[in-house]
Amino acid sequence: MCHPGPAVGLLRAYQPTYRDHFYTTDAIEMDQAVNRLGYTREETSGYVFSTPWHSTTPLYRMYNPTVSDHFYTTSYSEVQSATAVGYNYEMIAAYVYEANICGSVAFYRLYSPSATDHFYTTSASEASNAVANLGYTLESVVGYVLPVKP
């Protein structure tokens, strides 16, 4: 059950003008975000699954065009709540583990009310820095992903 064979990279990018973090497993979609929408490619966040896999759950992707914010959650009730406040459901971005299994690591969700930006990371130090210095609040662990090996 812990065979990571079908795992794919969860790519991360940032749009500095709109202060929006974007995550996708699709390299073509990432290229379009960089080349057409002004995102800057950042590091791979971790490894996830593009189709359902053992002990995984959907990671839903939402977007609010009014405030230029991508929002990712594994909770369908959060999808419904976000829709009520202006987010549009886009797709299932990936499948992530529901629990810390198979050598996975926490995928932290942070939010900056001043930037209206949701930010996700597997790095506890990056999350701590975002809270201490960048105005983010740690909201939750959205799921678990396989780590990027150095």
Residue 147 has pLDDT above 80, yes or no: yes
Residue 51 falls within a domain, yes or no?
yes
For residues 31 and 69, give the distance between their C-alpha atoms in angstroms, rounded to a whole number. 19
Identify the band that residue 149 occupies on the pLDDT scale cut at 50, 70 and 90: confident
Lowest average pLDDT, out of 1-10, 51-60, 84-93, goes to 1-10
63 domain-assigned = yes
Which structural domain, as residue segments, surrounds residue 50?
A: 7-145
| Partners of 22 in beta bridges | 13
1 falls within a domain: no
**Domain presence at residue 2:** no
Q: Looking at the DSSP assignment, which residues form a beta bridge with residue 58? A: 95
What digits encode the pLDDT tens for the residues 74-133?
999 999 999 999 999 999 999 999 999 989 999 999 999 999 999 999 999 999 999 999
Report, as an integer, the average pLDDT of 40-69.
Answer: 95
Is residue 37 included in any domain, yes or no?
yes
Q: Is residue 78 part of a domain?
A: yes
How many separate domains does the chain show? 1
Angle 94-95-101 (CA atoms, 0-180°, nearest 5)? Answer: 140
Band of pLDDT at residue 4, cut at 50, 70 and 90: low
Give which of 75, 140, 74, 131 is closest to 106, Cα–Cα. Answer: 140
Q: How far apart are CA 110 and CA 8, in angstroms?
A: 23
What is the rounded distance in angstroms from the CA atom of residue 86 to the CA atom of residue 43? 29
Q: Could you give the 3-state DSSP secondary structure of residue 39?
A: coil
* Residue 150 falls inside a structural domain: no
Q: Quick one: pLDDT at residue 5?
A: 72
